[in-house]
Chains A and B, each alone.
Chain A
Amino acid sequence: MMLNTEPNLAAPDDFYEALIEMHRDLTPEESAAVNARLILLLANHIGDTEVLMQAMQRARAG
């Protein structure tokens, strides 16, 4: 499977707001921990190694 970079979020503005809200009042260290847990949870949900590798490459490329 290919990494989907086309619009796929049902409610993009709601998602983005919730993402920022997730970090409210957290120290940078706490935020880093939350992000790491989020990545792990999402990675497991996706499951497909090929998609995950493509996403990591895309993220690293900036």
Chain B
Amino acid sequence: MADVDYQSLVMPYRRSADQDRPEPARHPVVVVGAGPVGLTMAIDLAQRGVAVVVLDDDDRLSTGSRAICFSKRALEIWDRLGCGRRMADKGVRWNTGRVFFGDDEIYNFDLLPEAGHGFPAFVNLQQYYAEGYLLERTEDFPGIEIRWRNKVTGILPAADGAQLTIDTPDGSYDLDADWVIAADGSRSPLRAMMGLEAKGRVFRDRFLIADVRMTADFPSERWFWFDPPFHRNQSVLLHRQPDDVWRIDFQLGWDADPIAERQPERVLPRVRALLGPDAQFDLEWCSVYTFACQRMERFCHGRVVFVGDAAHGVSPFGARGANSGVQDVDNLGWKLALVLEGRAPESLIDSYGAEREYAADENILNSTRSTDFITPKSQMSRVFRDAVLDLARDCGFARRLVNSGRLSVPATLHGSSLNTPDIDAFAGAMVPGAVCADAPVIRDGRRGWFLENLGAGFTLLCFGEGPGDAVVVGRDLIDAEGLLARRYDARPGTCYLIRPDQHVAARWRRHDADLVAAAIDRAMGKPA
């Protein structure tokens, strides 16, 4: 199937019956923002049987490639939601990274991703493809209604929900929602309307993104230059995207004029200096951006819950923006569904805040460290940065200090109130709060992946033997390469309780139905 030109799609505004009602209509969940995070939220809830109204102030998907690195965890979440495989297949995979300093390549590395996972460490994919595929997936669910050109202009929070005032081409109307999910981006109008802020560190630097289309014989590698001859005293990143589009990121410094720098007559010479005088290319898109590492103090404000960039912001180094937003939604979806069904107390939503605020701090820490390395902000910081790069030519230890963005990996939710602490001894990474590791398995004679076997609700994973409703390795699944047992430090009798968002809730060396039931209650936020 040929790909749609998602950037040129215009989604029609349609008048909703809600606009003609004498009293505001009431919906269980209204998601504000139809970006990658808002669309993912809608699919997760709809897949759990919750009807969702999505409001977006625009009528288009992402203009320009924007977020381009999607991590393994985001792909796994999207696979659970029915569209991860398509993204992985379209995306560009790469393993080799090259680091240049001044005139020279100082070293290269192979990511050597661990084998035996259903998805690669990450793929490069333009945001408009991610959004386009998500949008097409929403069409599979009659419970999702997206209202384009519906701009929220007011919010009135209440104990049992919030009233939204919405501006449309036909005038404004009001809507009541039991829950409002704010996925309206880093400048979140909802956040401002509620008098809330995201606080943190603003970096005094500007970057130019230039996407160029060319049929050059650059390999599918990530090239990162510190202080290259064609762009002195700044950094440059070259990354490949699908459709022969290349992302080039130029650090410009704080004094750069953001308007002038995005004009083609300024951009083209920069690109030509990198690619050489004979390169044939077309400029697809360019943008000048700044960024801040910041977050809201709390993500939950009664019945209004903030997700994605609205809740937290990071630098682009390390691909922790959209990826962490998708993980927010992964965390929130099942909790909201349980609360709406009356099966879990409303306080379960507070655990979304606690867990994802913790994850946001980890992402901010990592992205701040990368930023400080790439764009040193003091003379001595620059001296040490350059010393690391000098030594990295032939000292292995210094290569470990080079930080042009650390791989985005999901946070392990240590200390979450939903975790049941271990009472048995275990080794390895699958501690309570960890995201479940994948592994190759065989089910019904077919090769597949472990994560595909986790259900929409809680899953009890047992090794060797277990109750009828558990996923039992040896009965329901074959551990094709022994990796599942190794990654979960499993012995016969070991069992894991896995949350609907594929995080470990509890684990034991032998099955005990009472302990499992207590751990499920705990993970659903029920009082002990």
Residues of chain A having any CB pair with chain B under 8 Å: 32-33, 36-37, 39-41, 44
Residue contacts A-B, CB under 8 angstroms, 28 given: A32-B380, A32-B383, A33-B383, A33-B386, A33-B387, A33-B390, A36-B380, A36-B383, A36-B384, A36-B386, A36-B387, A37-B387, A37-B390, A37-B391, A39-B384, A39-B387, A40-B384, A40-B387, A40-B388, A40-B391, A40-B397, A40-B398, A40-B401, A41-B391, A41-B395, A44-B395, A44-B397, A44-B398
Closest Cβ neighbor of A38 among chain B residues: B387
Closest Cβ neighbor of B385 among chain A residues: A36
Closest Cβ neighbor of A44 among chain B residues: B397
Residues of chain B having any CB pair with chain A under 8 Å: 380, 383-384, 386-388, 390-391, 395, 397-398, 401
Measured CB to CB, the closest approach of chain A to B287, in angstroms, equals: 35
Measured between alpha carbons, how far is A41 from B390 in the docked complex, in Å?
A: 12
Closest Cβ neighbor of A32 among chain B residues: B383
Q: Which residues of B contact A40 (CB under 8 A)?
A: 384, 387-388, 391, 397-398, 401
Q: Which residues of B contact A32 (CB under 8 A)?
A: 380, 383
Q: Which residues of B contact A39 (CB under 8 A)?
A: 384, 387
Measured CB to CB, the closest approach of chain A to B482, in angstroms, equals: 34
Inter-chain pairs besides A36-B386, A37-B390, A37-B391, 13 sampled, C-beta below 8 Å: A32-B380, A32-B383, A33-B383, A33-B387, A36-B384, A36-B387, A37-B387, A40-B387, A40-B391, A40-B397, A40-B398, A41-B391, A44-B397
Measured CB to CB, the closest approach of chain A to B401, in angstroms, equals: 7
Q: Which residues of A contact B386 (CB under 8 A)?
A: 33, 36
Q: Which residues of A contact B390 (CB under 8 A)?
A: 33, 37
Measured CB to CB, the closest approach of chain A to B231, in angstroms, equals: 21
Measured between alpha carbons, how far is A11 from B384 in the docked complex, in Å?
A: 28
Measured between alpha carbons, how far is A55 from B248 in the docked complex, in Å?
A: 41
Measured CB to CB, the closest approach of chain B to A28, in angstroms, equals: 11
Q: Which residues of B contact A33 (CB under 8 A)?
A: 383, 386-387, 390
Closest Cβ neighbor of A37 among chain B residues: B387
- The winner among B383, B387, B390 for most chain A CB atoms within 10 A is B387
Q: Which residues of A contact B395 (CB under 8 A)?
A: 41, 44
Closest Cβ neighbor of B396 among chain A residues: A44
